[in-house]
Amino acid sequence: MAQKNDIKVVINNKVYTLSGQESEDYLQNVATYINGKIAECQSSEAYRRFNAEYQNVLLALNIADDYFKAKDQVNQMLTEDDDKDKQIYDLRHEVIEVQIKYESAQKMIEEYKDKISELQRQIIKLEAEKNVK
CB 20 within 8 A of CB 5: yes
Q: Cα(81)–Cα(79) distance, rounded to whole angstroms?
A: 5
Mean pLDDT value across residues 75-97 = 97
Terminal Cα distance for the chain, rounded? 100
The per-residue b/e assignment along 46-84, b for 16 or more CB within 10 angstroms, e otherwise, is ebeeeeeeebeebbeeeeeeeeeeeeeeeeeeeeeeeee
Report the pLDDT value the prediction gives residue 129, as an integer from 0 to 100: 86
Neighbours of 105 (CB within 10 A): 10
Question: Is residue 20 very low, low, confident or very high in pLDDT (cuts 50, 70, 90)?
Answer: very high
Mean pLDDT value across residues 89-115 = 97
Residue 104 has pLDDT above 90, yes or no: yes
Q: Cα(15)–Cα(7) distance, rounded to whole angstroms?
A: 10
37-75 tens-digit pLDDT: 999 999 999 999 999 999 999 999 999 999 999 999 999
Q: Report the percent of the chain where pLDDT is more than 90.
A: 92
Question: Is residue 130 very low, low, confident or very high in pLDDT (cuts 50, 70, 90)?
Answer: confident
Question: Is residue 2 very low, low, confident or very high in pLDDT (cuts 50, 70, 90)?
Answer: confident
Whole-model pTM above 0.85? no
